[in-house]
Structure 1
Amino acid sequence: MEGKIELRKSADISLQKQCFQAVRTHFTALGIEAVLDLPTPLLKDLLPHLTACQLDEIQPALNKRGLSTYSGWVEILRDLVGLSRALDFRTEAEAKHEVMLRLFTSVFYGLSSNYVLKNSTNLKSNSFLSSAAKSIHHFILIPCMHQALQALTTNQQPLLVLLEKHIRSVHVSHLLLTLRKPQAVLYVLHRLLDHGITTNLVVSIDSALDLAWLLHGRGSQYVNTELKKLFSFPHVLQSSPANSSLDVESTASGKSDNVIPCKRVKLYSESVEKEEDPSDVPNFTLDPQVLCHTFSPCDGPSAGACTFGQITHLEIRTCGPDSLKVLGFSLPTFFCLQSLSLHSKSIFRELDVLEFAGVLQQLSDSGCSSLAHLSIGLLPHVGLMKTLLNASPRLTSLCVEFQTAIWGPQFNLDRAGTAEPNTSDLPLEKLTVKIIQLQSDLHFLTSVLRRSPHLASLHIAGMRLPTGCSQSQLLSTLSESNHSLKVLTFEDIKLCDCLPDILKLLRGCMLEELSFNDCRLLEKCINPEKSLVELVAALKMPSLHSLSLAQNRLAKNVCVLAELFSGQSQSSLKQLDIRSNFIQPADLLEFAKRLMIHPPPHRLTLDLRKNPGDRDPETWNTALKRLQPSSFLLVEGWKSTDTMVDHISNM
């Protein structure tokens, strides 16, 4: 009898799937009203079968009815990026933006992907590009895809107007001024940066001249003399990428020649002789306003004089000496800059960092600085954090990443600081410190924490102390000095001997988000279950809505977490992350049974990824079914071959 019921269910599901596929295929013929008339449960089941265009069309009406299209966008993301990555986008807005950004970029530049090929009829049209342009706020500029960008200057001008209205962030991933025909690329950038609403700029190149062009007139009063010459002379930059930083030294020092460097003229002449007739060489300048008048109609956006936009958020992902040099001359007058992020693939030289701190000091001393957020890495030693804070004492957010060179001089941690300790309060509200080195001295961090009474968010990763030392001092400092903490993240830090200090900290603050990721919480505990019971009792604070205990080898002790929702003082958790804890199917089932007795007051987002569910799939699936009524589950397949990797990562 049971077998017949299962066969009937399977047949029903198969028929339903065929119907959903028919709706997807004939969506236009059916009409949106007919689809919306479906019963709500059936409509929810339909969403994962719809295309991106169909989801975008139906979303406004569904949202008005209080229904989310999240499941549909996640299903598309599974095709695009894989299940695990898709689940990292927790909201409808995040998932939709990621889908639309990926699809827009693929379709616009003609990049192939399985999803685009399968849905080419719906996607390869101007209507899709226009629809996607209204949904994205980030534009990836790929200069070598010249034809697509050239189209924005001709037959796709309406699309460029849409992008102006919606794009807030532009990512420049390749060299600009060494292109053979950069006019269209520079014009598109000009329209987005100067005519549009774009204020965020992401740069993944280390080119002094390119960075100077991007920053010119858009917030900083610094004028790169080499760039100014190229505004006046015909375009002659046809050299190799290595020459994109030509004359940085003379430019940075403010020296100016009245002639175009001979080396570039020679290179340019050679390339002309080999590639084309000299008479066909374009004669134009790099001045954005001249380019704008060249490409735009008389009554277009360039009618009259163009105004320069402002860059308020700048991120340089490949920040080498050339970029740092140009930035050093731009920064003292970059008054509109609110956020600056610099990351180098290699460790910054200490001298370069100290010079950069001096530039920050000039900006701060001007009294006109808007800089509130600074992110920088990789720094050679932790003492430089104090240097940066003293140079820019008005920062409200600081993210620093340190890595000690294996070879080279060893640094005195305090030598980069001031001669006398600075005890004045800092306005810091957010601090992130990531350390990749064998040992750290806690003093550099605790001294900053004591000066930061307004700190609301703290993220510390990778801190290693000398043998025999404990993180108790760090936790005690937080308990004494940082009562405003709302978000606290510890990552890859040994806290197994700090339970009393953790309990004291939790009882004295009102955290909203807490993460102990890979912190070896139960390692070496005489009674792990008892220790976890104590921790759970302290976690029942009414303010806490997000908790992560990923990579802590909870294993069978996961059952204790169900006690979060028992008793009179129930937890208000909405998100619980217990990834990579070697939770066996039987242990998850016991956790599910206890959670059924004491269900959470809110539907819980429960992250169970990277746990060995394949050890007993039947029991694992039974546990998942019992959890579903009270939880939104984030799960993925597990391979037993990953067991050793999981074990090593939690040692």
Structure 2
Amino acid sequence: MKKTTKKKKKEEKQNRTAMEPDRLEKQCFHAVRKHFAVLGTEAVLDLPTPLIKDLLPHLTVCQLDEVQPALNRRGLSTYSGWFEILQDLVGPSRALDFRTEEEAKHEVMLRLFTSVFYRLRNSYVLKNSIHLNTNSFLTAAAKSVHHFILIPCIHQALQALTWDQQPLLALLEKHIRSVHVNHFLSLTENKTQGALYVLHRLLDHGVTTNLVVSIDCPLALAWLLHGRGSQYVNLELKKLMCWGSQTLSPSEDAVRCSPGDESTPSDNLSDHVSPCKRAKLYSESLEEEEDKSGVSSVAVDPHVLCHTFNPCAGPSAGTCTFGQITHLEIRTCGPDSLNGLGFTLPTFFCLQSLTLHSKSIFRESDVLDFAGALKQLSDSSCSSLVHLNIGLLPHIGLMKTLLNASPRLTSLYVEFQTVMWGPQFNLDHLGTAEPDISAELPLEKLTVKVTQLQTDPHFLTSVLRRCPYLTSLHIAGMRLPTGSSQSHLLSTLSESNRCLKALNLEDIKLCDCLPDILKLLRGCMLEELYFIDCRLLERCINPKKSLLELVAVLKIPSLHTLSLAQNRLARNVCVLAELFSGSSQSSLKQLDIKSNFIRPADLLEFAERLRDLQPPHRLTLDLRKNPGDRDPDIWNTALQTLQPFSLVLVEGWKSNDTMVDHISNM
């Protein structure tokens, strides 16, 4: 008993002795972090390279940002530091797929800037409040983020940006390229004027050209688009702008903005009186007037707002110009918003990319009206629109309608969902009615997502035959009538789309199409290939043999990304190691095999085989949603075996969740 006790004490002493250098090192790193300002950047840069690499995960956001330029000049990356912060932000169980230093840094800065600016507390911000709740952090973050999330309901933060933090707003003007309005934007409440002014500064004074809107508010959309590309004037918005002009000069502008006057409110501003003082002077009378008329008297004209919040600009500043929007995304697009956009489109010449998505299915009549507006825009030689993303559409026949309305598109994303009520659509005339049905299309990227019980593949294959320059194709959810096969689709790709570099087939049954798949892969030079939930091995008499045949043709020299997620590979995963065997090794850099019910023992066998073959490039291996907790020791051994030659993406798995098990093993 005494011997056992002595032995334990000896082991504990040895462990403490072994841990002392690590503890000392961490204490030193924490001291550097705490006294960084006193030590200075140069003192950190003078450290040996291995020590700098170990120090990076311990530095604050601002410290990382400060040392990054000098380290980059020395060929050192700060990726490990940004990754450590990201891991702390999202939690250890979530896999992070940011492969470059800049991607990781931008994600960190965007998350933290939004949280600190709007005072949205999370555990990381609370834990690091001393380092984050400073103007220096907001300034550093503003130089690194390119995307600004505008939350109009948090008035205090935006109001501070318009008054106390004008230098920060000026900095955002220079760096923000994309603005996301993610909350209802009222044009009739005084408290949202700060949000309108910030939008005006970013959209009209800054470099922002990308606009994302997550609200379904036609009037707010009209304000956001007014003058920024389209020549269309919304009459309801014009009325509000006239009332706003009266807010600043009731004696003069009320006459000039009378009904029937075609001049814009911005032309009628008086430059001889301070707008700020007039707004305060007449505030009480205007509130009474609003109550009587039921119409808002809040200033919404961007130029009026600019003079209101920035009176120091004076008359010499002149009238603000409208900025242009080249990329527009509406994530909640209702019928009224779609209709309003239809009026805007014909003269929206600077628009290059348009994304429209609705939670409910668009009506066919609304889509046809929208296609008519697209046709008017396309007929103009000034049109710049090349990318269209729209859903949910009621049937796949409308894809040709949109392509014929805008035949110069180089990228199209369409999503369809069956209408479960109302009249059935006659698709026959939609496929043949257009006179230019066989005209060649310049499409380079095409994404088609279908949620229907059955789909006639003719509507898709006829489009594919018109797209000889197609380089990227993504098809998801296309289900055929019973007894039909996707071989017709695959043969069309082999014959008509030889320029393909990226092919993504998702939720499509391909278990009976192996010969067609092999023929397609032998005749193309793909760089990215995704077979996601395609039931590749379903009903195969010899799954291992079939997978070996597929692996043999997947050794395409150009292929660098391969996904076989959700294909129930299970124990057959070991076959994939043969990608790197023989004289013609695969050049893969990314392999996605998540959700394949790969057990720990099978992963270990796969890892050991890969270790023996040694892939020519460091492999990013996605193993998420596989049952690693069935035997954690073996699973961790497999991960350690993979570590020297791969970056492994893993997430937590709970095997006691029987539904997850069932789905992965179906």
The equivalent position to 1:419 in structure 2, one of 433, 437, 442, is 433
Instruction: Report the alpha carbon displacement of residue 461 of structure 1 after superposing the two structures with TM.
Output: 0.9
Work out which of the residue numbers 166, 170, 175 in structure 1 matches 2:185: 175
- The correspondence for 1:377, drawn from 391, 395, 417, is 391
Q: 1:555 aligns with which of 544, 561, 570?
A: 570
SS in 2 for 1:201: strand
Write the deviation string for residues 344-399 of structure 1: whole angstroms up to 9, x where unpaired: 01110111011111111111112221100000000111111111001111000000
**Correspondence for 1:368 among 360, 382, 387:** 382
Letter in 1 for 2:139: S
Q: Which moved further from structure 2: 16-25 or 221-230?
A: 16-25
Determine if contact 2:574/2:602 at 8 Å carries over to the other structure.
yes
Deviates more, 1:35-44 or 1:2-11: 2-11
Verify: 1:201 aligned to 2:211, yes or no.
yes
Across the aligned residues of Structure 1 and Structure 2, the Cα RMSD in angstroms comes to 2.8
Shift of 1:440: 1.0
Whether contact under 8 Å (1:536, 1:564) holds in the other structure is: yes
Which of 334, 337, 340 lines up with 1:323 in the alignment?
Answer: 337
Shift of 1:80: 2.2
**1:386-535 → structure 2 map (5 Å cutoff):** 386-420=400-434, 422-535=437-550
Q: Which residue of 1 aligns with 2:54?
A: 45
> How much has 1:91 moved relative to structure 2?
2.2
Deviation at residue 597 of structure 1 after TM alignment: 1.5
Distance 2:216 2:245 in 1: 21
| Corresponding residue number in structure 1 for 2:651 | 636
- Matched ranges for 1:66-77 at <5 A: 66-77=75-86
Residue 494 of structure 1 aligns to a residue whose secondary structure is coil
> How many residues were matched structurally?
620
Checking the alignment, whether the CA contact within 8 Å between 1:176 and 1:185 is kept in structure 2 is no
Report if the CA contact (8 A) 1:293-1:302 is conserved: no
Distance 2:314 2:195 in 1: 18
TM-score (structure 2 length as normaliser): 0.88
Give the match for residue 241 of structure 2. Answer: 231
In the TM superposition, residue 407 of structure 1 has moved relative to its aligned partner by: 2.8
AA partner of residue 517 (structure 1): I
Measured in 1, the distance between the counterparts of 2:593 and 2:61 equals: 31
What does residue 152 of structure 1 align with? 161
Q: Which amino acid aligns with 1:536?
A: V
> 8 Å contact 2:243–2:296 — kept in the other structure?
no
- Inter-CA distance 33–352: structure 2 relative to 1 (3 Å threshold): same
Q: Per the alignment, in what secondary structure is the counterpart of residue 141 of structure 2?
A: helix
What runs of 5+ residues in structure 2 fail to find an aligned partner?
1-6, 248-259, 261-282
Aligned 8 A contact 1:77 1:86 in 2? no
Q: Aligned partners of 1:74 and 1:23: how far apart in 2?
A: 19
1:102 aligns with 2:117: no
SS in 2 for 1:464: coil
Contact kept in structure 2, 1:310 and 1:336, CA below 8 Å: yes
**Separation in 1, partners of 2:156, 2:95:** 31
Q: CA-to-partner distance for each residue in 1:104-130, whole Å, 9 max, x for gaps?
A: 111111111111111111111111111
8 A Cα contact 1:459 1:488, kept in partner: yes
Tell me the distance in 1 between the aligned counterparts of 2:27 and 2:665: 45
Contact 1:195 1:301 (8 Å CA) reproduced: no
Residues 300/80 of structure 1: CA separation in 2 closer, same or farther (3 Å cut): farther
TM-score by length of 1: 0.90
Q: Does 1:305 align with 2:328?
A: no
28, 31, 45: which one aligns with 1:22 = 31
Native 8 Å contact 1:387 1:418 kept in 2:
no
Tell whether the 8 Å contact from 2:187 to 2:298 is kept in structure 1 after alignment: no
Cα deviation, 1:476-525, whole Å, max 9, x if unaligned, reads: 11111101111111111111111111111111111111111111111111
| 8 Å Cα contact 1:489/1:514 also seen in 2 | yes
- 1:645–1:587 distance in 2 versus 1, CA, 3 Å: same
- The 3 A distance-change label for structure 1 pair 68 and 642 is farther
| Maintained 8 Å contact 1:551/1:650 | no
Q: Which residue of 2 aligns with 1:246?
A: none
* Alpha-carbon shift at residue 3 of structure 1 (Å): 6.7
Is structure 2 residue 47 aligned with structure 1 residue 61? no
Residue deviations 1:409-449 (CA, integer Å, cap 9, x gap): 32233343451571111000000111111111111110111
Counterpart position of 1:92: 101
Query: In structure 1, what is the Cα distance between the partners aligned to 2:388 and 2:285?
Result: 44
Matched to 2:366, the amino acid is: D
Deviation at 1:596, TM superposition (A): 1.6
Measure the CA separation in 1 of the matches of 2:381 and 2:189.
Answer: 40
- Aligned pairs (5 A) from 1:229-378: 229-234=239-244, 285-299=299-313, 303-378=317-392
1:14 CA drift (Å): 4.5
Amino acid at match of 1:177: L
Which residue pairs with 1:255 in the alignment? none
Q: How far apart in 2 are the matches of 1:11 and 1:621? A: 26
Bigger radius of gyration among the two: 2
Deviations 1:256-301 (A, max 9, x none): xxxxxxxxxxxx9999579x999xx996532211221222244489
Distance 2:291 2:348 in 1: 43
Q: Which amino acid aligns with 2:550?
A: L
Are the structure 2 counterparts of residues 117 and 540 from structure 1 closer, same or farther at C-alpha, using a change threshold of 3 Å? same
Percent sequence identity over aligned pairs: 77
Q: Is the 8 A contact 2:565 2:594 kept in 1?
A: yes
Q: Secondary structure at the match of 2:474?
A: strand
| CA distance in 1: counterparts of 2:195 and 2:245, whole angstroms | 14
Partner of 1:185: 195
Alignment CA distance shift 1:283-1:420 (3 Å): closer
Do residues 545 (structure 1) and 555 (structure 2) align? no
SS in 1 for 2:656: helix
Q: Are the counterparts in 1 of residues 476 and 508 from structure 2 also a CA contact under 8 Å?
A: yes
Are the aligned partners of 2:386 and 2:411 in contact in 1 as well (CA < 8 Å)? Answer: yes
The answer as to whether partners of 2:597 and 2:664 remain within 8 angstroms in 1 is no
Instruction: Out of 514-523 and 423-432, give the one that drifted further.
Output: 514-523
Q: Structure 1 pair 179/75, CA: closer, same or farther in 2 (3 Å)?
A: farther
Specify the alignment match of 1:217 in structure 2: 227
In the aligned structure 1, how far is the partner of 2:598 from the partner of 2:472? Answer: 30
Deviation at 1:42, TM superposition (A): 3.2
Question: Residues 136 and 579 (structure 1 numbering): CA distance in 2 closer, same or farther, change over 3 Å?
Answer: same
Question: Structure 1 residues 3 and 524 mapped into 2: Cα distance closer, same or farther (>3 Å)?
Answer: farther
Check 1:82–1:444 CA distance in 2 against 1; reply closer, same or farther (3 A cut): farther
Q: How many Å separate the matches in 2 of 1:47 and 1:17? A: 12
Q: CA deviation at 1:21?
A: 3.2
How far the C-alpha of 1:557 sits from its partner, in A, is: 1.2
Alpha-carbon distance in structure 1 between the residues aligned to 2:664 and 2:638: 26
